[in-house]
Amino acid sequence: MLNFGLLGKGPKIPFNGGIFSNGGFEDGLTGWVQSGGWSATPDEDTAQNVSSAAGAQLYQNINGFEIGATYEITADKLEGDAEVAYLVNDASSGVPIGTPYQWVAAGANLSTGVEIDVAGTVPTVVDNLRLTFISGA
């Protein structure tokens, strides 16, 4: 049997967050703004909100959106019973994370990420936030 050493651990490849920096939380919450108790889970490269309180936001202030252009945001909810929605155009979209969501940029400088819309009873854990440009105005 041949052994090429392919099963050993190599360097970890960071998640590609597109326009988001640190979308996989490999660097904790570096680059992210949080309100309402979000924290990093460094051993798991995720973000969690223990209180799962409504209104808690985790976002990046993105400068340089093309007004009227279409963007796509994606994220994964790994744990929790809170309802988490995409935060786009500085407000909750009301669209639950877990499936891609396309939207049109209403301004050049916008807060973009996730928000807990309906409180949960257990910690909420999110990961893999990605923001991509789809098409121009």
pLDDT per residue as tens digits for the range 38-94:
999 978 899 999 999 999 999 999 999 999 999 999 999 999 999 999 999 999 999
Q: What is the pTM of this model?
A: 0.89
Domain 33-135 classification at class level = mainly beta
pLDDT at residue number 4: 47
Tell me the C-alpha distance between 112 and 41, whole Å. 21
Question: Does pLDDT of 109 surpass 60?
Answer: yes
Is residue 43 helix, strand or coil? coil
Which helix (H) or strand (E) covers residue 112, if one does? strand 109-118
DSSP state of 15: P
Tell me how far apart the alpha carbons of residues 77 and 85 are, in angstroms, rounded to a whole number.
10
Write down the pLDDT at residue 1: 46
Q: How far apart are CA 46 and CA 68, in angstroms?
A: 31
Question: Region 99-107: what's the mean pLDDT?
Answer: 96
Q: What mean pLDDT is predicted for residues 1-16?
A: 62
Predicted confidence band at 137 (pLDDT cuts at 50, 70, 90)? confident
